Amino acid sequence: MGKKSESTTRTVYSNTTTKNPYAFAKTDNSGTVAGFQDGALNSVYQFVNKNIDSLLEEYINPTLNSTTNQAKLNSFINTLNQQTSANLENNIINPLSKRNMIRSSQANDLYRNLASQNVSAVSDYANNLLSSSQENTAKMLANLFSYYMQGANYLADMQKQSLQTSRGNASTYTNGDGNNAELLSKAAAMAIAAMSAL
């Protein structure tokens, strides 16, 4: 009996690059690679990867020293000092001064009382800020992870699209094994020998 001929089929995917302003995907016979273009999705991805440790630490151990809390506290202190000082001067000290109804020592006492009240107000604000900090950080983390996962899903879609396009443009080759393979091998050897003889 003769040798049974076997054949193998091989699919070669075409090189495909899919791009848009946010991401890209490249497919070839080795697989598919996707990534972000410079822009919003990439910025969120980089920010989360770079800051996730400190954000989680801030969530677990809230502190007034965080960038966000410091900014809020400083803003509160500056606004409080400006408003209360202006109110004291415009509504109390200046009107009494014009009527000669206040001495400088009394004005100094009013400023000292105001400073003491402001310190108390700042202390209350700081305590409230610290107690709400964990909740605010949790909301921020939830938003960041939502955007992060949107980006990850976007990349997965780009990969899928690139792979489908490449598969659609793929070429299929069938090679014979056995008798056909032997004939092809002999023909190739003869062609090489003929070229060498030239």
Higher pLDDT, 133 or 30: 133
Q: How does the average pLDDT of the chain come out, rounded?
A: 82
Alpha carbon distance 171, 173 (integer Å)? 7
Higher pLDDT, 47 or 92: 47
Q: Phi/psi of residue 73, each to 5°?
A: -65, -45
- For residue 178, the model assigns a pLDDT of 46
Higher pLDDT, 28 or 128: 128
Paired strand residues for 24: 19, 35
Q: What token pair was written down for 72?
A: 């809020």
Residues 124-181 pLDDT 10s: 999 999 889 989 889 999 999 999 999 999 999 999 888 888 877 777 767 654 445 5
- For residue 198, the model assigns a pLDDT of 45
Q: Could you write out the DSSP letters of every residue in 140-164?
A: HHHHHHHHHHHHHHHHHHHHHHHHH
